[in-house]
Copies of this chain bind each other. A is one copy, B any other.
């Protein structure tokens, strides 16, 4: 904060749901949201509704917790014509009491129309609100995880492992009936497997707000295709299974396995072995101090050595696009969002730090045929990486 010349951050919202910055500073979920005040050099203050006092204490991110009522929200609402209209007064009053006179950043995911109005009103009340370009102070803070965050990430990692292992167990035991694979009493299709995945997620108490990719054959080569529900599960076809569950805490996990039910042909095997090798090499070299660029280069080297094309050709100016091959970056941070800093790619020149959590996910795709991607979410440590979910990597589910 001080390096950026910011004296205080005020993060707020009507709920912590789908608001990573507010969840981060509060340390957990508040059904009715709250207002968080952090003055550089002082301990933070959190204002919540009377009903959320218990949740705020349990969340544990802030020790100094007070209620809107203690700050006279009801009187302000009566005086200015509603709680919305009272909000700028309330914020200005707290900032005054906390002796904040210099630059203030507002944070939290809010409607921009009323957010812009609020900024104007605060400025007229003498608050020096400034904006921030991304990465914001809170985005940078969220890059490195606290012990509490690591615990939550491990928790959702375990849940993810349970779901994937249960799905694998079912897929291994599919019965065959008149030439078709059966899932229970119905035909095994992408749709029926996805329903099974949803049920397993629910049983583990996690959700997948952005869906799950379960894509067979050619669909697996298209990053936008999450799987065609009517498509049957056929033996020997490559299946990309990319699952990204979120726990109640707000933390995510991201894991991909690629496999075939039954036996794989030589082309699939060669693709798989290449991606497996690329991922293993990257997992083996990543640690505190290595850069995303180094790992990305390593993945491209392994894949190119086996005769496949990679996105490196584009960065080198040798090609404008590649028709097939490894065409995306190696990974991204995971935490209260499923795609955040740090990123692992050719532009990632900053050394990685302990307690950053990233995906490592090389892939090779052949349009019209299929794709292979293998992805783990891992924590960076001083000695290497520590995977947050543990699921076997086998091409053939048999």
Chain A interface (Cβ < 8 Å from any Cβ of B): 17-18, 21, 31, 51-52, 54, 84-85, 105-120, 129-134, 136-138, 195, 198-199, 201-203, 205, 207, 209-211, 223-224, 248
Contact = CB atoms under 8 A, between A and B. Distances in A.
A132 B110 contact: no
Contact of A114 (B18, B131, B198): B131
B105 A131 contact: no
Instruction: Please give the count of copies of this chain that the complex contains.
Output: 2
Nearest to A21: B111
Contact of A133 (B106, B114, B133, B134): B114
B117 A111 contact: no
A133 to B, nearest CB: 5
Nearest to A105: B113
B85 A113 contact: no
Contacts of A210: 17, 31
A337 to B, nearest CB: 9
Nearest to A84: B134
Given A51-B223, A119-B119, A113 B84 contact: no
A367 to B, nearest CB: 14
Contacts of A130: 116-117
B105 A129 contact: no
A164 to B, nearest CB: 16
A33 B348 CA distance: 24
A120 B106 CA distance: 14
Given A115-B131, A119-B131, A205 B195 contact: yes
10 contacts: A106-B112, A107-B111, A107-B113, A109-B109, A109-B110, A110-B115, A113-B137, A114-B133, A117-B132, A199-B202
A107 B114 CA distance: 8
A388 to B, nearest CB: 23
Contact of A111 (B85, B108, B113, B201): B108
A58 to B, nearest CB: 12
A120 B109 contact: no
Given A17-B18, A209-B209, A136 B115 contact: no
A300 B21 CA distance: 41
A38 B138 CA distance: 32
Closest 10 CB pairs of A and B: A117-B131, A116-B131, A18-B18, A198-B202, A202-B202, A113-B132, A106-B112, A113-B136, A84-B134, A51-B224
Contact of A85 (B84, B133, B138): B133
